[in-house]
Amino acid sequence: MSNGNGITGTISDAAGAVADKASEVVADVKKAATKAKKAVAKKTAPARKAVAKAAKKASKAVGDAVAGARRRVAASKRKPAAKKAAKKTARKATKKAAPRKSAKRVAAGKKAARTVKVKKAVKAVKRTAKKAAKAVKKATKKAPARKKAAKKAKKK
């Protein structure tokens, strides 16, 4: 595309100069931006730190409030158990304060209770033995060998 009078060379030199100048400008802008960024970071550091500190305090306060609420809920759930324990101790105290029976009366009562328990146990054993005997009787009535013998007897 050359026409012999050096226009092409001049144009390409000019384009190179513009490209160099543009890269210089970009480098200067980058440098300025980096400086500005550092300056802004330096100036805002105390403010950022204060915000972080306040956020941490607020978070701790909220956490403490939640923990306290959880403790109160747990305590409210435990209250009935505490009341039961108080009632139990009161009952024990009244029992201790009540007049005591003589040793003979206590022994007599225990003996009577023992005999009643023994009687009940004997009755239960007899009842189960009776049921077992009934079951055996019923089973032998329906036994296949017995049925066969009965049929043979009827045929004769």
The answer on pLDDT for 4 being more than 70 is: no
Tokens of 39: 């300056």
| Single pTM value for the model | 0.33
pLDDT tens-digit readout, 77-102: 776 655 667 777 777 777 666 666 66
CA dist list (Å): 139 to 50, 123, 135, 154: 94, 24, 6, 21
**Least confident stretch, 8-12, 17-21, 142-146:** 142-146
Q: Are 2 and 8 in contact (CB under 8 A)?
A: yes
For the chain, give every domain's residue range. Answer: 108-156
- Distance between CA atoms of residues 92 and 96, nearest Å: 6
What's the pLDDT band for 2 if we cut at 50, 70, 90?
Answer: low
Residues 6+ apart with CB under 8 A from 8: 1, 2
- Distance between CA atoms of residues 28 and 20, nearest Å: 12
Q: What does the pLDDT read at residue 151?
A: 66
